[in-house]
Amino acid sequence: MDWSTIEAKWHEYRTRAKRQWDKLSEEQIRNTRGNREYLVKRVQESYGLSRAEAESQVSDWQSQQVEMRPAANS
């Protein structure tokens, strides 16, 4: 998934991000506002990772995301 989609719909993806990186506070997740660099930096700091490791984690998470669509009414 393209990061611009995640950024534009961060309010929908932040719960998934919080599940992935539970050491990040709600405030850190909220303040990310979909900014990829901010997220990488927070993951790096919170988990004691190198920049490359944090970047890899965010890239892996990004590749697992699918666009959320409204549920069809049955």
**pLDDT tens, 3-17?**
999 999 999 999 999
Task: Tell me whether residue 43 is in a domain.
Answer: yes
Task: Tell me whether residue 51 is in a domain.
Answer: yes
Token look-up 């534009």 returns 8
**pLDDT tens, 19-52?**
999 999 999 999 999 999 999 999 999 999 999 9
Task: Tell me whether residue 21 is in a domain.
Answer: yes
Distance of alpha carbon 45 from alpha carbon 26, whole angstroms: 15
Task: Tell me whether residue 72 is in a domain.
Answer: no
Task: Tell me whether residue 34 is in a domain.
Answer: yes
Q: Structural domain of residue 24, as residue ranges?
A: 3-64
Q: What is the CA radius of gyration of the chain?
A: 13
Confidence label for 1 from pLDDT (cuts 50, 70 and 90): confident
Confidence label for 70 from pLDDT (cuts 50, 70 and 90): low
CB 12 within 8 A of CB 68: yes
> How many domains are contained in the chain?
1
**CATH number, domain containing residue 55:** 1.10.1470.10
